[in-house]
Amino acid sequence: MESEQRQEPSWSYQDLVLFLCLALPCFAIGILAVRAVVMLTPGKHPSVAIIALTGQFLGYGLWFGCVAALYRMRYGTPLWPAMSWRLSAGLILPSFFLGILLAIFVAVIGLLLRTPPQDSTLLELMRDRISLIIVGILATTFGPLCEELAFRGFLLPLLVRTLGAAAGIVFTALPFALLHGPQYHWSWQHLVLLTGVGCIFGWARYKTGSTGISTMIHAGYNAAFIGALIISKREYF
């Protein structure tokens, strides 16, 4: 574990400002590019889910491409080692299963907190069978990967080095929760739960030194909730 901790990337706050400044134009280009393609394509247009999610993940791809290029130019290091991506085959399923258990625990806590019904943007994107499948696939693959690389791969090491482990984990979880705030109409119960979930992802990343582990836990967590939504929408199948 000590050897893994010594290999943490040496991000700086200058890197943070630079990469945040790149994020907005990258996501704007991704969204505008997808909408332009849709407008110029004759015939039936894709569902709202396809348009929204394609633009979002295209933005993520552009952003990580810029981060990879700049980090290699500044430090001579490839992106994946810089993000502490380590994942042995034997830990994939156990980590994924831990994510499912976490989702069950969070669902129970949510009942105790009387969280409002999930009348969210996510459900708006899942109005038909194709959209449900697309959202389900992306929410358990590219979604966890992109968010973990951004929050636990990039932001967490910087804050832990500056603030210490506990504070770094919490202050990484807060923007993670706020990112999902609009999806839940800023319900305080959901924000509290998401902050706690973000802390667990961060703790797993910190203790193992692996962004891959936190990504698999995140994927299992999302898969459990997507599975519950699929069961609740049996009319699609």
Domain ranges for the chain, please list them.
Answer: 2-236
Q: What is the pLDDT of residue 54?
A: 84
- Give the pLDDT of residue 178: 93
Does 222 score more than 90 pLDDT? yes
Does the model's pTM come out above 0.85?
Answer: yes
pLDDT in tens, 158-199: 999 999 999 999 999 999 999 888 888 889 999 999 999 999
CA-based nearest residue to 153, from 64, 53, 222 = 64
Buried b (16+ CB within 10 A) or exposed e, 157-174: bbbbeeeeeeebbbbbbe
Residue range 25-49, pLDDT digits in tens: 999 999 899 888 888 887 777 666 6
Task: Determine the pLDDT at residue 5.
Answer: 44
Q: What is the DSSP string of 41-94?
A: S-SSPPPHHHHHHHHHHHHHHHHHHHHHHHHHHHH---HHHHTT----GGGHHH
Phi-psi region of 116 (alpha: psi -120 to 50; beta: other; left: phi over 0): beta
Measured CA to CA, the distance from residue 40 to residue 152 in angstroms comes to 38
Q: Name the residue among 150, 132, 147 with its Cα closest to residue 226.
A: 132
Q: What is the pLDDT of residue 230?
A: 76
Q: What is the mean pLDDT of residues 120-127?
A: 64
Whether the CB-CB separation of 182 and 190 falls below 8 Å is answered with: no
pLDDT for residue 147 is more than 50: yes
Q: Is the pLDDT of residue 220 over 80?
A: yes
Does position 139 have pLDDT exceeding 50, yes or no?
Answer: yes
Q: Is 39 exposed, middle or buried (0-12, 13-18, 19+ CB in 10 A)?
A: exposed
pLDDT confidence tier of residue 119, bands split at 50, 70 and 90: low
Q: pLDDT tens-digit profile of 82-112?
A: 888 988 888 999 999 999 999 999 999 999 9
Phi-psi region for residue 43, left (φ > 0), alpha (ψ -120 to 50) or beta? left
Cα gap 234→232, rounded to integer Å: 6
